[in-house]
Amino acid sequence: MYYIAMMNFKKIFCLLMVLVCLAGCASQKEEKPGADKTVVTMLYTDDLPNVEKLVESVYTDIDFQIERNAAGTIDGEIERRLRNGHGSDIIASTLATGDVLNYLADLSADAYISSYQSGIMHKTSRDGKNYFIPLPAQYYGYIYNATLARENGLTVPKTQKELLAMLETAKEAHVGTDENESDFAVNGTPATTAIFALAIKIPDFFGLSEGIKWLDDLKNGKASFGGSFETCLDLPTEMIEKGYMNPLSFKSVTNSVPILEKMRDGKILMTFDNVKMLDNIRKNSSYEFDMLPMFSGEGNPAWTVSAPTAFLGINKTLTGDGNEARLDACRKILGLLSTPEGQDAFMRDNGAADSYLVDYTPTSDIVPDGIKDCIENGYNYNISISNDLMRYFGNRCNAVLCAQEDITSAFAEVDEYMRSGSSSRATLIGTIDHDMLVENYNVRMEETEIGNLISDAVREITGADIAVVNGGSIRGSLYEGDVYSYDLDYVCPYQDHIIILEVNADVIKSMLENGLSAMKRDNGIPGGRFLNVSGLKYSLIPASADAPARLADVTLPDGSSLDENAVYTIAVTDYMAGSEGYFDNNGDDFTMLNVYSSDTPKAENVKLLRETEYTFRSILEEYIINHNNEEIASKIEGRITTVNENE
């Protein structure tokens, strides 16, 4: 009996030990996923699902997180984040020059540096050190509808003169023309305009000895745009004068023309862009498309344009003590991206066309037929001008093309910018008591501190009952400490003016509903029409698979309902009120506020009380200066809330 009892005790004891071990293992297993992964962050303009999948499959201890950026170009916001201690781990920049280099780790000793062609690495080096690796290249040129050209007997051009003749013939025959009777379009962001203007100069300037000397002079601070570049806008100016292209796309108050959709549907014949855009246009279209190079106006060979999609570096702060794991993870990621597998993954995500790796063999042929001859014959030009200068040059070109400034004064400003840079706008205007961040499109989806700050500024300065600020107008963060005038150029870059309207409660509700209607879009980026508010509170029902987000309730700040019999003054932008019309994405469909456009029915129960010269940028500057005896503060206070549909 004693023996049997001892045996039973041993069995029970062993069983208990097994259960304890299993419980311990289970506990360890639950903690493992968060504890054994090193998080690496990167700010970029696109999702990179194939790159993320490759990194996390090869390195199971790395969690690679991509934050998408709302700005048309990532460089300005990246540099501001780095200066204020908010930089991501891996830094992406469109051009490997400028102040961003001061915040990057030296990669010269990393083995993967030798994987790249020496020519491109020489361009990215400073003082003999490498701080970037180049991602695969994009080719730029004229994308055209080959089907429409073939079916309508249009001659595919080989010179600049023939290009204009093709556009003229198409316009006369109404082939590939939109509602504005235009058959050519350019995405008028400053970066795209700058590339377009400079690309026009390649065959007859950059590709010649005088252009090579100009670039050398630029590096030495001796070059000037004035006197050298006036002809770079001759071609687009002629296109505008002859009606082939609408100048509205170059105005900073407008949304980008929906070029992809128009090209895909055969509503415009041609655009200037890159291979990624060409690939996107080809998707879900019944037409065939091809790309043409940049043509000479003087009988020189045609050229195509290429540039790395971006350059990647590592945040210098990771070289400090305590960051060894993240630094090692970043080096592993850059090393993996420097292999054919890494390049292929990025090309699948971004539509890039060629790699700068030594001995790289493409796995697919995505170089368009129309530019293959240029590439094979060596007529492929890489524009290497700093990102800040490109952005400023593009801004001034836009001002010329939409007749806001003459070319002589515009390029004189570019030359002044080259000499003095942003220091000419480095006026201290106040202080912020804590970071107010724009990240992950938050100003387009929810209440934010910076959205509250700007809308409060608008309401205080204008004296309106209610102020609204569309999220797409807020493009950069404000950081704790001193605020300089040039910071506001990044926060609110657009020039649309603020006006005061008198409206009733129904108009306010309709306006808020429209602000919620584009929070969920096919490309994953919420629309910029989402409204930040001051003088109101509202709640929303989130978007579902079948319906956009909807307005659930709206009240005054004290919780009382809007008076259906009262009128309210609201501060909005003239852009929302139809100053640029409502075609081509302009006005963000706020037709219930239309007091300007004659192409859309005028709004009912809306009265224009006052126009101002204020922009969001200037009104924020005045607000901060007015409060210069205090640190500017803002907080989340329940102005915009989310509710379930059944609540």
CATH assignment of the domain containing 232:
3.40.190.10
Whether 283 and 335 share a structural domain: no
pLDDT at 156 over 90: yes
Q: Using CA atoms, how far apart are residues 397 and 223, in angstroms rounded to an integer?
A: 18
Domain boundary among 350, 380, 409: 350
Whether 171 and 231 share a structural domain: yes
- Asked whether the CA dihedral 190, 122, 351, 490 is positive or negative, the reply is negative
Whether 295 and 211 share a structural domain: yes
Higher pLDDT, 244 or 486: 244
**Which two structure tokens, joined as six digits, stand for 354?**
């060629």
> Beta-strand (E) ranges in 173-235?
184-185
- Does residue 392 form part of some domain? yes
The reported pLDDT for the residue numbered 18 is 38
Q: What dihedral angle (degrees, nearest 10) is formed by the CA atoms of 207, 212, 218, 223?
A: -90
Whether 500 and 439 share a structural domain: yes
Whether 342 and 246 share a structural domain: no
Please give the share of the chain, as a percent, with pLDDT higher than 70. 90
- Does residue 623 form part of some domain? yes
Whether 7 and 154 share a structural domain: no
With b meaning 16 or more CB within 10 Å and e meaning fewer, what string describes 68-93?
bbbbbbbbbbbbbbbebebbbbbbbb
- Does residue 264 form part of some domain? yes
The reported pLDDT for the residue numbered 10 is 43
- Does residue 358 form part of some domain? no
Is the separation of the CB atoms in 339 and 333 below 8 Å? no
Q: What share of the chain is helix, strand, coil (3-state, %, to 5)?
A: 40, 20, 40
Whether 200 and 85 share a structural domain: no
Domain boundary among 421, 453, 484: 421
pLDDT at 280 over 80: yes
The reported pLDDT for the residue numbered 74 is 54
The reported pLDDT for the residue numbered 422 is 53
The reported pLDDT for the residue numbered 219 is 76
Domain boundary among 323, 350, 377: 350
Q: Using CA atoms, how far apart are residues 108 and 100, in angstroms rounded to an integer?
A: 17
- Does residue 290 form part of some domain? yes
Place of tokens 């101002």: 612
Q: State the CATH number of the domain containing residue 621.
A: 3.90.780.10
Whether 90 and 119 share a structural domain: yes
List pLDDT tens digits, range 312-358: 999 999 999 999 999 999 999 999 999 999 999 999 888 888 899 99
- Does residue 361 form part of some domain? no
**Average pLDDT along the chain:** 87
SS3 letters across 126-141: ECCEECCEECCEEEEE
CA 253 to chain CA centroid, Å, is 16
- Does residue 462 form part of some domain? yes
- Does residue 647 form part of some domain? no
Place of tokens 């300065």: 461
Range of the domain at 269: 139-307+368-421
Which of the listed ranges 121-130, 181-190, 222-231, 553-562 does the model predict with the highest average pLDDT?
Answer: 553-562
Q: Using CA atoms, how far apart are residues 418 and 221, in angstroms rounded to an integer?
A: 8
Name the domain count of the chain. Answer: 4
Whether 342 and 404 share a structural domain: no
Q: pTM value?
A: 0.73
List pLDDT tens digits, range 9-62: 444 444 444 343 444 444 333 334 445 899 999 988 888 999 999 999 999 999
The reported pLDDT for the residue numbered 522 is 62
Strands 270-274 and 184-185 come out as parallel
Whether 143 and 234 share a structural domain: yes
List pLDDT tens digits, range 468-520: 999 999 988 998 888 888 888 889 988 889 999 999 999 999 999 999 999 87
Strands 304-308 and 380-382 come out as parallel
Whether 381 and 406 share a structural domain: yes
- Per-residue confidence band for 256, with pLDDT thresholds at 50, 70 and 90: low
DSSP letters spanning 469-523 = EEGGG--S-B-SEEEEHHHHHHHS---PPEEEEEEEHHHHHHHHHHHHTTSS-TT
Neighbour-count burial of 100, counting CB atoms closer than 10 A to its CB (0-12 exposed, 13-18 middle, 19+ buried): buried
Classify 312 as helix, strand or coil: strand
The reported pLDDT for the residue numbered 254 is 57
The reported pLDDT for the residue numbered 27 is 39
Whether 77 and 200 share a structural domain: no
In this structure, the number of other CB atoms found within 10 A of the CB of residue 364 comes to: 9
